[in-house]
Amino acid sequence: MIYERIKGLGNGVIGGWRTASPSARKLEAVADELGLSVDYLLKGDQAMATA
């Protein structure tokens, strides 16, 4: 995935999150690249509803 290469994550790291939880550092790197908050990545639209 392109975000893995841009943020220096190993190949397949994001796909591996289907069965294992990401570290806070890796999740933050992806959120930063997407211009989203970590909270939004974790909760989706629920994060916006409670803000």
Rounded Cα gap, residues 51 and 30, in angstroms = 21
Does residue 49 surpass a pLDDT of 60?
Answer: no
* pLDDT of 19: 92
- Global pTM exceeds 0.95: no
Which token pair is 36?
Answer: 């989203």
Cβ count within 10 A of residue 45: 8
Which among 32, 33, 31, 29 is positioned nearest to 43, based on CA atoms? 31
Q: How many residues appear in the chain? A: 51
Residue 51 has pLDDT above 60, yes or no: no
What is the tens place of the pLDDT at every residue in 6-41? Answer: 667 777 877 888 899 888 988 888 888 888 899 998
